[in-house]
Structure 1
Amino acid sequence: MKIVKIISYALLVSILLFLGFLRRIALRPAADIELHFNISAALDGTAATEVVADRILSIEGVKDVRVRKSQTIFEEYRKDKIISEKIRMEENPFGDYLNVYPETLDAGVAALAAKIASTGGVEDIAYDRQAVTIYRRLKIVVGYISIAASAVAAGAFIIAVITIIAKVRASGAAGALKTLPYLFYLVPVSAVCYAGFMAIARHEGFPFDYAANGILLAAASAIASVVYAE
C-alpha cells in the first residue's frame, strides 16, 4: 500500500513538473517575440527625425522609439556581402527609420500601426503580422497549461480535504495530525527539486514567474503529503 502511495505522489509531482516545463517552452518564444517585436516606420523627410519620434512616442500604447539613421542602414548594407553584390548602390538611397516598440502585443497592434502610419513625417510602416499571430497563439497555449496545472492542484486539494475529514471522523483529530511531520520533509524537498529542474531547463525569464511556480508545486506537495502519507 505504501508503494502505491509513493507512486501516486510521484505521479502528481511529475505531472506538475511536466506542465511547468511545457509552460516554459511556450513562454520562451513568446518572450523573445515581445522583446524584439517592433513596427518599422520609414520617414518621408518632411520633418526632423527627432520631431517625428516625439510625435510617435506620445501615442498611447507606444513603449519606446529608437532611431535608425540613414548612414547606419547604408553601412549595414555594405557589410552584407550577399545583398551588396546583388544590388549595387554607390550612393546612400536610404532615409531615416524609426523602430517603434509597443507596450503589449495582446491586442490593438494593427490599430497602433495605423496611428503611426498617419503620423506626420511617416511615409510607410511595416511589421511582422505573423509574429503577432504566433505570440497570441502561444499565450493561449500558456493559458490552457496554467488552467491544467491549477486543475491538478485543485483536485489534490479536494482529495486532501475529503481524506482529512474521513480521518477525523474515523480516528479523531489526533489521527489526522499524524501526517503533519511529512510536510516538513516533502515541501522543501519538492521545492528544491523543482528549482533545480527549472534552472537546468530555463535560459531566460523572470524570477518571480519561477518563484510562483515553485510555490504552487510546494503547496500541492504539502496537500499530497496529507493524502498519501501513512
Structure 2
Amino acid sequence: MGILVFAFHLDRVLGLNRTLPAVSRKFQFIHDKKPCPVVLWDSSPHSSVQMTWGRYQRSLKLKCWHKNTAPRFHSDCSPIHHHEWSKLALFDFLLQIHRRLDPHCCGFRSRVQDECGSSACSRQENMELGHLTYREEDPRRLVFTHNRGYFDRNEDSLDFRLLEGIRELPAGAVGVLRGGRLRERLLQSLFIDQTYWESQGGRQGIDTLIDVIERRAKVLLTYINAHGIALTDMSTSPI
C-alpha cells in the first residue's frame, strides 16, 4: 500500500494537486509496527460521478464546462470540468491505476493481482466507471482517491485504454516529464517522508520505483507525439 504515498508525491511534483496528502507512519498497535500509509481525513462532503464508459467518451468530445460554459440540459456532461479527465488520464497511466477508467481490465493482459471486475469488455458502452470523486463544494474538480497502482507491470502490458478519447494533456505536467527533472523532484519530495524512504530500502529502492515511472513517461511522450495530443495550460482552476 506504499504506492498511496508515492502517488501523493508524484501528484504534487507534476503540479496536479488532486490527491489527498498521504504519509507513511509506524503504529505500535497495528501492522506489527510496520510502516503503513496514513491519508489526511477530508471532512468535506464528497460525491461520486456515476458514469459509463460510453457517456465518458461522449463527454470528452463535448468538452464539458470548457471555458466555464454550462453544457446543454440533458447532455452527457457530468459536473466535472473537461480538463480534469486529462489530468486523471495522465496520472493513472503513469501509475497504471485501472480501477477508475478501466475497472474490468479491458485494456491490458490482466493478472490475478490486478483484481479486475467481472468481465464486461464485450459490453464496453455500458460499463460503469468507478472511484470518480469530487467535493460537493467544488464540483468541477476531481479528487483522486483509491490510488492503488502497479509498479510491476511491464512496458509491453501497459493499459493504453486509460488514454482513449484524450486529445489534450496538461502542459505543465508533461513539461516536468520532458524536462529531465522528474527524478530530482521526486527524490527531493520523497526524502521528506523518512519513514517511507526507509521502508522502500532507501535511495536504491526509491530509484527503482522512479525508474518505472520514467520508463512509462517515455512511453507516454512517444504516444503524445504519435497521436498529436495537444498540450494545454490547465493551471487555471475550474470554476
- Give the TM-score category using the shorter length: under 0.3
> Between Structure 1 and Structure 2, which shows a larger proportion of helix residues?
1
What is the TM-score with the length of structure 2 in the denominator?
Answer: 0.23
- The structure whose RCO (Cα within 8 Å, separation 6+) is larger is 1
What is the TM-score with the length of structure 1 in the denominator?
Answer: 0.23
- Find the structure with the greater CA-based Rg: 1
